[in-house]
Structure 1
Amino acid sequence: MELEDQWWKGQLAADIYQALRYKELKLPSYKGQSPQLNLRRYFADLIAITSNRFRLCPAARHLAVYLLDLFMDRYDVTVQQLHMVSLSCLLLASKFEEREDHVPKLETLNTLGSMSSMNLVLTKQGLLHMELLLLETFSWNLYLPTAAHFIDYYLSIAVLDGDLHDGWPMASLEKTKSYMAKYADYFLEVSLQDHIFLCFAPSLVAAACVAASRLILHLSPSWAPQLQRLTGYAWENLMPCVEKLLIAHDSDVKEASKQKCQQQQQQGQTVLHSSGQLATVTQYLQLPSMQYPQKAPQAGLAANHRSVSYVSHSTSSLQGPSGPQHCDTQTIATSLDPKPGISNRAYPVSMHYSYPAPCFDR
């Protein structure tokens, strides 16, 4: 979207925010009925890796994945065609969100390691045909707010002077704000990895990213009155989305800990297991007035904490689905037929799970 740089700091911030909130009410419906839904994570990763390679802004990355989700939801797309669709979504989103000199060039795209591993060569004519099909699908309207469009506005007051860390005054407000920005960005990328987050409004997902970050950073109250007034969401509204974000965080922490133990064993080192007591998520998902046990504040992000899986991937290591990878773009427009309705898939959620939340070094 053509928004002023750092619009959330300007005099029109409130007006722009209200315009985004109004626009999200008119977003296209998403049913989660694509037959290729099990491949969605792979192609979301492909978009994210390519986006990181060209240092595109989060808004472009999130818009690209959202375009892909909507397109897959409306058409029965083959695996081979999905490669072209994914990269076309990214190009279209970058043209809408980025400056012209930041938009990836065709020649550079074809030199990526992931392109050679997929045996895929993009052509100018093929991309133009695909972009035209996408634009016609969305009625030439790419003004589609995502969580990435709201997050900076919420981060402007995500950490307040009166906040407590583990029941104590914060040792460094600026350092805490830095950690908050990193965790909010992490949770924002987590929200890209599962289509279940599309059942929430983008503004709510962004607010939940801030709320989850405050829980992980042990800030209290968990949801300050100022944040409720700014976002328009009460703590109870955010809990379902926050829970799903924390489930993903729990999984990432456990996987990182497992990999660290394996590396230490391979190096012949003694693996020391922590005897610290794990806290259940239900203990963290309390009312905003909750206070944490008082203990000395800690600094630094945990060494074994990792970001979402694709952040550490290289473009050369991304492996595509099995099957031929050639894409005949001339036949895409005629082969993409709307599908009959398919029932939505259930998403199992359990309120009883635990995670260590190692957000500070010990």
Structure 2
Amino acid sequence: MMDSNNNFISSESLFNLHINKEIWDDIAEYKDEYAVVLAYREMYRILFAHRAPQIHYRAFLIKHLKDAAITMKLTHCTLHLAVYLLDIFMDNHSITSERILLLANCCLLIAGKVEEYYMKTPKITELNWLVPYPYTVKDYKILEAHILKYFEWNIMIPTAAHYVHYYLQAAVTKEDVRLKQQGVATIVRDMHTTIRTYLDKVLDDVHYMQRHKPSLLSAAIISIARQANKLSEWHEQLEQFTHYTCSDIQFTKMMLLETLPLPCTDCGLTITS
């Protein structure tokens, strides 16, 4: 689990909202405009066909990216975006084993440029420290350009980590504060461990990551985190904010709480880490 960094999102991310204020006072300001942007970008996720010839490398690559994110203190949103780019690019290209780590590093490099403060953006030298054989700067530049061209520069795609950050704006109500006798920030902080656990689970299984709407996954994760902290599983504020009802998220919650890996109806395989 990526537990050395509590930050879901960087303050420099284009998706960032500031949640250090009283959360319910911020909701009206951001809700409509931000929700439209997220929903629009979620619609343009490239469909995953599960046809990557190098899918058997995925578990190894996800571990590599997690370790890199921890080492460089990158946010969950950077990591999730890198994995999205990696999965989709692999799904549509045949990558040689000698360049598979270069691809993972390039995806993290691109995601870091989108999400991180410029001083924390991964550097090629740092990424090369994490691989057994260094690649040249030219190798990175050529593949980075190829990735960006394939995605037509449409790489600002919301992931489950982005949606979790957004939904946290509405995750805690005044009634929760009254019942718990704790401030909003404390309650949200107590939810972090559960949230990180399930965001990690989403990364590990390509079917969660690429075959399920990140907004729905995130709503289910917020609900699980609330219950883990002895709060009601859902409330009207979250329903209005996410546009998901309690019944909408039940099947996704059941899948996330299940210990078995997800089956895939299209490919007939079960991919585990």
Structure 1 residue 50: Cα displacement = 0.5
Distance 1:5-1:66 versus aligned 2 partners, 3 A rule: closer
TM value normalised by structure 1: 0.62
**After the TM superposition, which segments of 4 or more aligned residues of structure 1 sit over 4 Å from their partners?**
7-10
Q: Does 1:127 align with 2:140?
A: yes
CA deviation map 1:90-137 (0-9, x unaligned): 00111122222111222222334xx2xxx3212100000110110111
The residue number in structure 1 matching 2:108 is 90
The residue number in structure 1 matching 2:217 is 205
Please tell me the residue identity of whatever aligns with 1:214.
R
Pick from 125, 136, 146 the counterpart of residue 159 of structure 2: 146
Q: Does 1:136 align with 2:149?
A: yes
Unaligned stretches of 5+ residues in structure 1 = 252-342, 349-362
CA deviation map 1:285-323 (0-9, x unaligned): xxxxxxxxxxxxxxxxxxxxxxxxxxxxxxxxxxxxxxx
Q: How does 1:1-362 map to 2 (within 5 A)?
A: 3=14, 5-7=16-18, 9=26, 11-112=29-130, 115=131, 119-163=132-176, 169-174=179-184, 175-197=186-208, 198-220=210-232, 222-248=233-259, 343-347=266-270
Unaligned stretches of 5+ residues in structure 2 = 1-11, 20-25
Which secondary structure does the structure 2 equivalent of 1:120 belong to?
coil
Please tell me the residue identity of whatever aligns with 1:134.
I
CA deviation map 1:7-65 (0-9, x unaligned): 56483443122211122112111112223223212211211110121111222111100
In angstroms, what is the RMSD of aligned CA positions? 2.7
CA deviation map 1:52-84 (0-9, x unaligned): 211112221111000000011111223322111
Which secondary structure does the structure 1 equivalent of 2:257 belong to?
helix
Distance 1:241-1:39 versus aligned 2 partners, 3 A rule: farther
| Equivalent residues, number | 248
Greater helix content: 2
How many angstroms apart in 1 are the aligned matches of 2:91 and 2:168? Answer: 32
CA deviation map 1:219-259 (0-9, x unaligned): 22x111211111011222212321222125x99xxxxxxxx
- Is the 2:14–2:114 Cα contact (8 Å) retained in structure 1? no
The residue number in structure 1 matching 2:3 is none
- Is the 1:180–1:213 Cα contact (8 Å) retained in structure 2? yes
- Is the 1:68–1:86 Cα contact (8 Å) retained in structure 2? yes
- Is the 2:160–2:214 Cα contact (8 Å) retained in structure 1? yes
- Is the 1:161–1:173 Cα contact (8 Å) retained in structure 2? no
How many angstroms apart in 2 are the aligned matches of 1:109 and 1:199? Answer: 29
- Is the 1:155–1:181 Cα contact (8 Å) retained in structure 2? no
Structure 1 residue 188: Cα displacement = 1.5
Please tell me the residue identity of whatever aligns with 1:187.
Y
* Greater C-alpha Rg: 1
